[in-house]
Amino acid sequence: MTENTFDAYMWQILENKQKFISQIMTSKSPVRACEDVDDTALSYAEIKALATGNPYIKEKMDLDVQVSKMKLLKANHTSQIYRLESDIAKNFPVQISALKERIAGMQVDSQVVKSVDLQDNDTFAMTVGNVLYEDKKEAGEALIASCAGLKTVSTGGKVGEYHGFTLSASYNMFSNAFELTIKGKCSYKLEIGKDPVGNMQRIHNTLSSIDRKLTESEQKLETVQQQFATAQEEVKKPFPKEAELNEKMERLSELNALLNMDEKGNETIMADEDIGREGSSIDSRDAVEEKELPETADRIHKPSILERLKQEKAQQNTAEQTVTQKTAKKKHEQEL
């Protein structure tokens, strides 16, 4: 594309073709009039204007790109505000409440575990089913047997108690293993293996890890509370480039109006020329009609040759009739 060349005419042809084709090739109901200009036709129009060297077109195209990017940034900012509002209204309060409740329960469970020496075999006592076991190995074997019984009925349930904690087991078909849930104020899960003594050690390790999990929950609560406070501050912040976006959109509107004015100006000039030509034609027709009027009047006052011959013949016939009547009258008088 070269400025001040025949390219402008070529792009104008493409523009006119695209205006028509794009309106026909549409999924909408067919219409008899095609007037709207679609986005593709506008692209051809811009290229045509660029070929003519219009300085406003490049500025308009640059502003179009900048405004589109800034509108996308604003949309992302608005979406983030909506997400923060949802988190502030629902998610953060629910998380904070759940963490506080879990921390309170874990604190109670931690105190229970601290009051018991889990490594002391002499004070060991676990109830499996309705039987109290004071030997770890026997308790482990009974626990495995109870879990196997749950597998046959394909259900889960309570299998025993240990230092005030309820022991419940269930079979996981995906992992093909039994899961044991230790429930105090909170619940703690572990997987049951085939080693009876090893299962007892897993239970002790799970109970001993309550303090570590309590610390993690407290840290998570602090993090969520900080996020909650930050969200409350961020949701109040407006879009940082709002003023710049409004300024660019205002300038873009001015350019659009200016370019549309140029197009309408050209159309007005062409319309005036058409009106002028039509006016000249009307004046010419009026002049011809005025010129023809006297001739028509003359034709009314000046009969044609045929009409004059008819008039002379009629006069001659009248004269002959008069002579005949006089002759007949004289003949009648002579006879008398």
pLDDT of amino acid 108: 92
Confidence grade of residue 103 (pLDDT, cut at 50, 70, 90): very high
For residues 17 and 24, give the distance between their C-alpha atoms in angstroms, rounded to a whole number: 11
pLDDT of amino acid 250: 92
Comparing 151-165, 239-253, 271-285, the range with the smallest average pLDDT is 271-285
| Token pair 């679609």: residue | 38
pLDDT of amino acid 298: 46
Is the pLDDT higher at 269 or at 327? 327
**What is the three-class DSSP state of 128?**
strand
**What is the three-class DSSP state of 133?**
strand
Comparing 152-161, 165-174, 293-302, the range with the smallest average pLDDT is 293-302
pLDDT of amino acid 296: 44
Rounded mean pLDDT of the chain?
Answer: 76
**Neighbour order of strands in the sheet with 177-183:** 131-133, 126-128, 157-162, 165-172, 177-183, 187-192
Q: pLDDT tens digits for 214-260?
A: 999 999 999 999 999 999 999 998 999 999 999 999 998 988 888 77
pLDDT of amino acid 319: 64
pLDDT of amino acid 36: 47
User: Which of 4-8, 35-39, 292-296 is the most confident on average?
Assistant: 4-8
For residues 118 and 124, give the distance between their C-alpha atoms in angstroms, rounded to a whole number: 7
Confidence grade of residue 295 (pLDDT, cut at 50, 70, 90): very low
pLDDT of amino acid 288: 47
- Please state the rounded mean pLDDT for residues 272-294: 52
Q: Is 65 exposed, middle or buried (0-12, 13-18, 19+ CB in 10 A)?
A: exposed
Confidence grade of residue 300 (pLDDT, cut at 50, 70, 90): very low
- Please state the rounded mean pLDDT for residues 169-184: 84
Q: pLDDT tens digits for 106-140?
A: 999 999 888 887 777 777 888 888 888 888 888 88
**pLDDT of 152 strictly over 70:** no
Token representation of residue 9: 């005419």
User: Which of 168-177, 224-233, 252-261, 282-291 is the most confident on average?
Assistant: 224-233
| Token pair 């095609």: residue | 34
- In which element (H, E) is residue 320 found? helix 305-335
Q: pLDDT tens digits for 194-227?
A: 888 888 889 889 998 999 999 999 999 999 999 9
* Percent share of the chain, pLDDT over 70: 63
Q: pLDDT tens digits for 14-70?
A: 777 776 677 666 555 444 455 444 444 455 656 666 666 677 777 887 788 888 889
Is the pLDDT higher at 195 or at 296? 195
For residues 132 and 147, give the distance between their C-alpha atoms in angstroms, rounded to a whole number: 17
